[in-house]
Amino acid sequence: MILVCCFVSWGAEPEAAKSLTPREQGEADFEQNVALGAALTMRAGLPGEMEGLSQLSARGLKAARDAVAAQPEAAEAHYLLGSWLLYGYWVVQMQRITIDSQGGTVTETVPGVVQGSADSAEEGLESLRRATELAPSNGRYLLDYAVALADYARPTEAMLVLKAVWAGQPELTPENRMEAGLILSDIYAAEGRLAEGREWVYDALSVKLENAGAVHRLRRLDSAQAEEAAEAAALAEQAAALQAAEAAAQAEELEYEQWGEVPGEEELSGAENRE
């Protein structure tokens, strides 16, 4: 249902859009941008969709920057800017390599869609951090900041934020604490620390027993641990086979040392004839 609202004509703006504040414009554009951008990463764009996505990105990001400039102490403005920089979708030029009928390679430049502005990741993270600073009791801002840290290869910092939320610093809702526990589980699991990831799921369940997210994660951890156990068993089998081969080689070498060079077939047959 979300995607339906994206496949609209990218012509003139509705009259209602002209009365939006910069922040409201940025938020409206962001919702459409994310829905359309996610769709275009999985399929070819329809006529006008790439241009429409590019227009949304440019207009929405400008609106977010204008909102921060107009209200530098507004947490929601910084949150919006960080969201655009880290999770908005952008049209970029990509190199596509194909094989022609003669078996040769053909390189062409085509438009593609990516999420997040790689050149502005630091600015995006700082914007989200600033939002949490201006609104420290906003659980959504804290949790999204932690997720962004993890997404942008800062898991240690993310865990510090989440563990503070879990410990009640600041005091947030039980739902926020539960979600912090589940996100911690995801981070530990991504690092291969499956047992710790499972412990955090159980901690989240202690806050709210009926938890579909926890059940999903436990199943995923079960699968990952089963794969890990299978890999460990295969490695152990390989190690045992290697150890057996080395023991056999050592035994053969010891036998050579005790008896000298093994007689050839001709010597053995000559000895048998003399007997």
Block residue for tokens 């962004």: 148
Res 172 pLDDT > 80: yes
pLDDT tens-digit map of 79-120: 999 999 999 999 888 887 888 787 788 888 888 899 987 688
**Taking the CA atoms of the chain, what radius of gyration do you get in angstroms?**
31
What span, in angstroms and rounded, lies between the C-alpha atoms of 90 and 250? 63
Res 126 pLDDT > 90: yes
What span, in angstroms and rounded, lies between the C-alpha atoms of 43 and 229? 37
Query: Is there a single domain that holds both residue 46 and residue 88?
Result: yes
How many structural domains compose the chain? 2
Query: Is there a single domain that holds both residue 112 and residue 142?
Result: no
* Domain of residue 69, residue span: 16-96+107-135
Whole-number pLDDT of residue 148: 96
**264 falls within a domain:** no
From the CB of residue 186, how many other CB atoms can be counted at a distance below 10 Å? 20
Query: Is there a single domain that holds both residue 206 and residue 227?
Result: yes
What span, in angstroms and rounded, lies between the C-alpha atoms of 130 and 104? 52
What span, in angstroms and rounded, lies between the C-alpha atoms of 32 and 6? 6
**238 falls within a domain:** yes
Q: Residue 123: which pLDDT band, with cuts at 50, 70 and 90?
A: very high
Query: Is there a single domain that holds both residue 81 and residue 163?
Result: no
**115 falls within a domain:** yes
Query: Is there a single domain that holds both residue 185 and residue 76?
Result: no
Say whether the peptide bond before residue 170 is cis (omega within 30 degrees of 0): yes
Query: Is there a single domain that holds both residue 64 and residue 149?
Result: no
pLDDT tens-digit map of 227-240: 777 777 787 778 87
What span, in angstroms and rounded, lies between the C-alpha atoms of 109 and 93? 6
Q: How big is the CA angle at 120 (ends 117 and 122), to the nearest 5 degrees?
A: 130
Query: Is there a single domain that holds both residue 50 and residue 31?
Result: yes
Q: Among 10-14, 31-35, 180-184, 192-196, name the one with the lowest average pLDDT.
A: 10-14
Whole-number pLDDT of residue 4: 31
**81 falls within a domain:** yes
pTM listed for this prediction: 0.71
